[in-house]
Every structure is written in C-alpha cells, then in structure tokens.
Structure 1
C-alpha cells in the first residue's frame, strides 16, 4: 500500500486545484473564441452521435497530462481521450498513485453553449479517489476536496451548503432526482434506455401509481454531465443521483467530493432483496452508481440511516442496468 505524508497530500491537493483552474480557463477561452467568431466548433463522433469529442477535449487533456507528468513523473495517468483511442475497455486503475481526468465533461453541453460543462481531475490511491477537483468555468464554480480536509465550493463554502439536513421521511418523495439518458440509445426492447425510462417513471409517478412503485419525487433533473450531477449532490442541491454507463473519469472526482462532504455512493442496480442486502461502497470501475446527498439526523434516525433508507426505497423502484466491462 502506498503511503503519503500529510505534507505530500497537501501539495498534491494544491497542485490539483491550480491545475483545474488553469484547465478551466482553457475551456473558457474556447467558448470566447466561438462567441467572437474567431473559431468554429467542430467535433467528431466516437461510438455514436451523442458520444463526441472536440479538439478542445484533446488539447486540454494534453495540457493536464503534460503538467502532471512534469510534476509527478512516477504517477500513472488515465484520461478519457487517450483511453478512448485504445481498443481495450478494461479497468486500468490499481493501487498505485493515479490521476484520473476528464478534460471536458459535458462535451455536448459545451458544443451547444449550455453551461453545465467542466474539467474533472481526481487523484486516486489504492483504488479510492482521495482528491477531487471539478471546475465549471462558465459559472465559475470550483468544487474541491481532499481526504480529511473537507469538501468545498470556491474554496470558501464548506459542502454541503446546508448542513445536518435530514433525508425526507418519505424519500424519494420530496427529493430532487438527478439522472441521465446516457449514451446507450439503442432501440432495443428492455435494453438500458427502456429500463432507465421505466425507472424514471417509477420514481416520478404519484404515490401508489405504477403498481405501487410511484415515488413522487419533487423533480427530475438531467444536467448532461455526470461530474456536475455528483458535485450538485455533494452541494445538497440534488438528493439522489441514479446512473449507469459512466466511466471512472466521469465520476472519480465527484465521488471524492461527495464522500468527503458526507454523502453515500453505492451501486445503481437493486439487489434481489433490497430490504436486507448490505449497502456497500460502489466500485470505481463498476459503471453503476447510486448517490445520496449528505444528510443529518432526524428525531428517529441518524443521517446514515436516512441515507440507507433512501437507497433501499430507490432500489425498490429502479430496474437493473447492464453496463458490463472486462476486468470488473
């Protein structure tokens, strides 16, 4: 097991925050060039029409990778664009110090100038993200965390913004649900897209509807960025995030921030018995995630008990998704 001193961890954290800010400014420069007409937005498709890459994705990843390799040459690097160019889809993270980077999460948003896009940088040790930096430059929102040092918005406001707020007693009712359509758009009966839609309907429908599965959530939100979904869950703006299909660079920084803020992250897929199955921390490479915001105690339960109760209630209403991969 690799050990880092507190000073080393502080230095890596400060470096990651500075790097996130600089990379975010590069994204903003690209937006400004499009606005003033000096550059058109071109993009290429990867797996399908909603899985796209721009030159900005690749340039910013190169910038981040070069900066990390110059500062920490012994550390591993895993970035979305370099990984996507390979043939393997195996899980590549191990116990070694690893940087896991999405240079532009929300690429479709970026091409449409919808502000929910960001740079995502995570530092992983022994398979667990311990530092997370997410910077959304068009909104100037910087989310960051370091193990044992708290999670923060713009380095001044501790997350969650409202502390010790219990989960609703009838959750998922009175919750804001965050979810995504994802990139698997195959029109296959009972495929992932159909299962997601059925799950969204179950969670949104009136209490007693959908054969008793109606969850009556306050609202359903889709930001188009898994990274931003997790950041807003850590902030407390979202109560529940349910998703399948994400890769580790989509979630590593957000998981680091959410866990440090006091949130819970487990698997999206319901077990055979949601009432009694253990609630275990989600595997980083699993591609299946259910996140619950930080929560405080109520008169009848601890914050953790409220989170776990919400997990079980969500599990009762969602379908199992199939996002398998080699090596996990």
Structure 2
C-alpha cells in the first residue's frame, strides 16, 4: 500500500474505533450486561463484544470490501479454514480488550483495530473510551495519542530502572503447570525491576509502553488480535517487540516482549524463568 492508502485506512480505523467506543459506553451505562464464558470462568464474552465486533467488521467492509477479517469472537471470517496471517490485507479486531474489566466497570478496557499487509501490521488504532485515549500509528509515520506524538522512554535500558507490566493467567486453559510458570516469572521480575503492574488490557498495556508510562511488558497466552495494533504503536513510538526468548516476534506464536530499548528487552527475556507455548493463532 502507498502512503495515501495507508492514511485512508488509518482514518477509517479511527472513525470506526470511536464509534465502537460509543457502543461500549452505551452498553456499560445501560445496566446489566449479558455475560458468558468461553474457555474458562475468567475468559469472558459479553453481548457487547459481539455487537462491537459486528459493527467494526461491517463499517470497515463498506470501505474495503475485498479485505479479509480476523476477530476475537468470529476468528477467521473471510479466510476459509486458513489460520495465521497471509499476504492479503487483513483487519484484525479485538472488540473489547479487557472484557473482565468491562464487566466490573473498570475503565482499563478498549477496542483494538489493526490492518496487516504481507503478514505485518501497517495500521494500528487502540481506543479506550472510558479514559478517552485514542492511540494510532501507521508504518513510517510515528505514533500518537489523541493526535499528539508519543515516544517510549528511550533512556531506560536496565530492568532495575524499569516499570514493568504483565498479565498472569490469560488465554486458554490454565492448568497447574501454567499457573506455576506465571507466578515464577512474576516473582523473578518483581525483584529485579523498579516496579510491577497488572492492569487487565494487553492492548492498553502496550500503548503505555509506547507513551513511556511503563517501560517493558511480557505476555504469554496473548492472541494476535490483542496486540497487532498496539504492537505497531510500540514500534512506531521507538520501542521494540521481541519473542520472549529474545528473537524476532512471531505475531501468531502467542507470546511477546515489548520494551523501550533493545537492551531492556533482552534483559527482561533473560530474567524470565519459564517460556510458555500455546496453540498458535
């Protein structure tokens, strides 16, 4: 895609994200939510998740009818049985990232919209409607929050100086071994870092790395719809994305490190004592 086409895709994604945020606010203020579980009792879905995803799909498809779509609730719509990212322009949507927070009226929740081309994110938009923060990036154009440029904290190169964020117990079936691995990693990093946080939304957590509010993140069990948009926002803000073992990130492998500097990313990778693998997206 040329720069003009990317700009148009970003414009549409921003417009649609704001509309999706309005749906989230309306549902939250309307009273009781209809909530059900997916893989386990912490993996939640609401009727609003499904409503927002359908709104996002339909709105974007009106502009780009030939593009493909991947959504958390409908998964690989328009791709047949094929899994993973292809060369085709593909929109990747998480209608409500942080559904647990949404259900509990916690404001740390958002809609995430990414466009990939050639298997790589080229446009990313994340909107937190309850805090009114809209993060956006497109390849080669930097990252912004509410229209203002943002940047990682580039002078943070050591874990002992870093505020680190993660989320234990996400994704898939949480067996006893996985829970022990989560706690082992948290215990290792807590004592090496300047501070540690868990806030409940992978996409917003990554955006906080991008704007320098935290310095590093790791996630196991994450899905491509959780971090395709925000991952691009991190790299366009000057940060790095890595596999948890320190190599290049694989968008479908369901594990990631984000950091303000390469040195910090590699130190965080070395600090993790367990490297979990999940079924690929």
Does TM, scored on the shorter chain, surpass 0.5? yes
Q: Are residues 1:218 and 2:210 paired?
A: no
Unaligned runs of 5+ in 2: none
2:262 is matched with which residue? 308
2:24 is matched with which residue? 27
CA distance in 1, matches of 2:81, 2:44: 17
How far is the alpha carbon of 1:21 from its aligned partner? 0.7
Compute the RMSD of aligned alpha carbons.
2.0
How many residue pairs get aligned? The number is: 278
The secondary structure found in structure 2 opposite 1:81 is coil
1:50 is matched with which residue? 42
Counterpart pick for 2:15 among 15, 18, 36: 18
The list of structure 1 runs, each at least 4 consecutive aligned residues, that deviate by more than 3 angstroms after superposition, is 88-91, 184-187
CA distance in 2, matches of 1:220, 1:199: 12
Q: Are residues 1:193 and 2:207 paired?
A: no
1:177 is matched with which residue? 164
1:233 is matched with which residue? 209
Q: Are residues 1:166 and 2:164 paired?
A: no
Unaligned runs of 5+ in 1: 35-39, 206-214, 271-278, 294-306
How far is the alpha carbon of 1:18 from its aligned partner? 0.7
CA distance in 2, matches of 1:96, 1:89: 15
Alignment of 1:1-328 (within 5 A): 4-34=1-31, 40-83=32-75, 91-155=83-147, 157-160=148-151, 165-168=154-157, 171-183=158-170, 186-188=174-176, 191-205=177-191, 215=192, 217-268=193-244, 270=245, 279-293=246-260, 307-325=261-279
How far is the alpha carbon of 1:321 from its aligned partner? 2.7
CA distance in 1, matches of 2:108, 2:212: 17
Alignment CA distance shift 1:164-1:47 (3 Å):
closer
The secondary structure found in structure 1 opposite 2:74 is helix
